[in-house]
Amino acid sequence: MDRILTVTGLAKLSVAPDTIVLWMNTQYKNEDYDEAMRLSAEGTETLRAALEAAGFDGAELKTADFNINPEYEGRQDTMTGAYSRRFIGYCACHRMKITFPAENALLGKALAAVMSSGAAPEFGINYTVKDTESVKNELIKKAVADSRKKAEILAEAAGVRLGPIASINYSWSSLELVSNRMSMDSVPLMVAKTA
């Protein structure tokens, strides 16, 4: 029977972000489905026009998620205590993003455009890297090196010789190379794990 030693390699990498993702969420409510849709489309075009006026490419404003759902109001009868729901309308929720180089001047222009657009979206900012593939590859190398080091230590402590690798389980449970930090310095973007 083969003796198997299983280790998990971890890696952490700090890189300077070179890209900003500006996220915007709008919500438009109306009793009429078509009107909620129209308001949402109008809000999106208002945002697009404001960003274009600030010098951004309007085609770069992308939809990340869109849904329209009925909304209800819950009520409790004061006499009987029974609960009931009353339909109050539709909510069109649109999550959008625009990506651009990580420059404070561009971020300032984008935020000013969004705030003055009249669309009143909620917004968030992520810093990331444009070339995610090279960052992922470097993380993989570091995680494998960490696995090897741990395996050597365990083999030595157990008084056995480390043989060739029998298998590698390579999987990313979730891989997002982003940071929410406002600093433009080198920031940790990802922790990789291999099993």
- Per residue in 15-46, pLDDT (tens digit) is 888 999 999 999 999 999 999 999 999 999 99
Predicted confidence at residue 188, as pLDDT, reads 39
Say if residue 194 is exposed, middle or buried (CB neighbours under 10 Å; 0-12, 13-18, 19+). buried
Q: What is the pLDDT of residue 3?
A: 75
Q: Is residue 12 scored above 60 in pLDDT?
A: yes
Question: In angstroms, rounded to a whole number, what is the distance separating the alpha carbons of residues 53 and 109?
Answer: 10
Q: Taking the CB of residue 82, how many other CB atoms lie within 10 A of it?
A: 8
Helix ranges, the chain (H): 33-53, 104-116, 132-158
> Which tens digit of pLDDT belongs to each residue from 144-195?
888 888 888 888 888 888 888 777 777 665 455 666 554 434 333 443 333 3
Report how far apart, in Å, the C-alpha atoms of 34 and of each of 41, 63, 91, 165 are.
Answer: 11, 19, 11, 60
0.85 cut: is pTM over it?
Answer: no
Confidence label for 66 from pLDDT (cuts 50, 70 and 90):
very high
Phi-psi region of 54 (alpha: psi -120 to 50; beta: other; left: phi over 0): alpha
Distance of alpha carbon 80 from the chain centroid: 46
pLDDT tops 50 at residue 105: yes
**Exposure string over 32-50, b if 16+ CB within 10 A, otherwise e:** eeeebbebbeebbebbbeb
* Predicted pLDDT of residue 176: 58
CA separation for the pair 130, 20 (Å, rounded): 9
Per-residue confidence at 13, pLDDT binned at 50, 70, 90?
A: confident
User: If 0-12 CB within 10 Å is exposed, 13-18 middle and 19+ buried, where does residue 147 land?
Assistant: buried
Element (H, E) at 162: none
